[in-house]
Amino acid sequence: MERRGYLLAMLIPVAAVVAAFLGVPLFFTLLDSLRVEGGTFPSLQNYYRILTSRLYLNSFRTSLLLSLSTTALGMLFGVPLSYFIYGLRGRLKSLVLFVVALPLTFSGLVVGFAFIVLLGASGFITLSLKELFGVNPLSFSRFLFTWKGLMVAYLYFLIPRTILTMMSAWERFDWNLVDAARSLGASWWTTVFRVVLPVVAPALLASSSLIFAVSMGAFGTAFALTGTQVNIVPLLIYTHMSEVGVDLGRASALSVLLALLTTGLVLVYEAGFRGDRRGA
């Protein structure tokens, strides 16, 4: 009992920090979302306008498409790369891990401008392709300023998150289980799906949930690449908070809906994932 009380006491500072830097801002954002200029408080008018407008609904659809695509590709490339890096040894492994972690130190704006320098109409890679293969720079670089270009830029700093998360799973994995399964006659595919994947499933869940959540809320890279040309929710929130057209109530309502949608989808996904594991 004393140990339990000690642990609870240790959680008080953590709870205070979470309340101060997460709970309080969310509370005031919710309050602002219920305010309408010249109207009564509280009001659901901001939510009604958002949920009945094709512009806002399309922004949520584009954000979902972008995040789901990024999550799928991030896991597709990140998981095999993490296993390959896990197999490296010595200084080479340390060097590769340093390179992998480097994108995580850059802000979203830096990543966006870096991709413009590389893949823009006057970018290094674009001009190199023009010289080597006669590629039209304008046609080639056009994709960079669409949601597909955002997906490529997002993968630059999201795949490292998958790799680093999965690396810890590979490090903790008991590889004797694989040897035992193979010695009992299990095929390679059976070993992967019946032995390896169930053990590393929590890391897969954490990686995919993290990629999806970050993609839904990423702003800096999107703003640097496209300004407000791509119709995704974070950029719409910025539009309503800019000096051109300030509407804090609608921006707050968009923020609340984005948080609810992201959190809800992650919780549903995690519940389904755990249900599949129990069923298996």
Are residues 111 and 221 in contact, defined by beta-carbon separation less than 8 angstroms? yes
Are residues 113 and 226 in contact, defined by beta-carbon separation less than 8 angstroms? no
Distance CA 128, CA 118 (A): 10
Looking at residue 224, its pLDDT comes to: 87
pLDDT digits (tens, 9 = 90+) for 131-185: 888 888 888 888 888 888 899 999 999 999 999 999 989 999 888 888 888 888 8
Are residues 173 and 83 in contact, defined by beta-carbon separation less than 8 angstroms? no
Torsion on CA atoms 175, 102, 95, 208, rounded to nearest 10 = 10
End-to-end CA distance of the chain: 37
- To 5 degrees, how large is the angle CA 159–CA 106–CA 152? 40
Residue 84 CB-half CA count within 13 A: 8
CB atoms within 10 A of CB 242: 12
Q: Give which of 84, 71, 102 is closest to 167, Cα–Cα.
A: 84
Residues of the chain with pLDDT under 50: none
Are residues 177 and 194 in contact, defined by beta-carbon separation less than 8 angstroms? no
Looking at residue 186, its pLDDT comes to: 84
Looking at residue 273, its pLDDT comes to: 66
Domains of the chain are 54-116+148-279 (1.10.3720.10)
Say whether the peptide bond before residue 198 is cis (omega within 30 degrees of 0). Answer: no
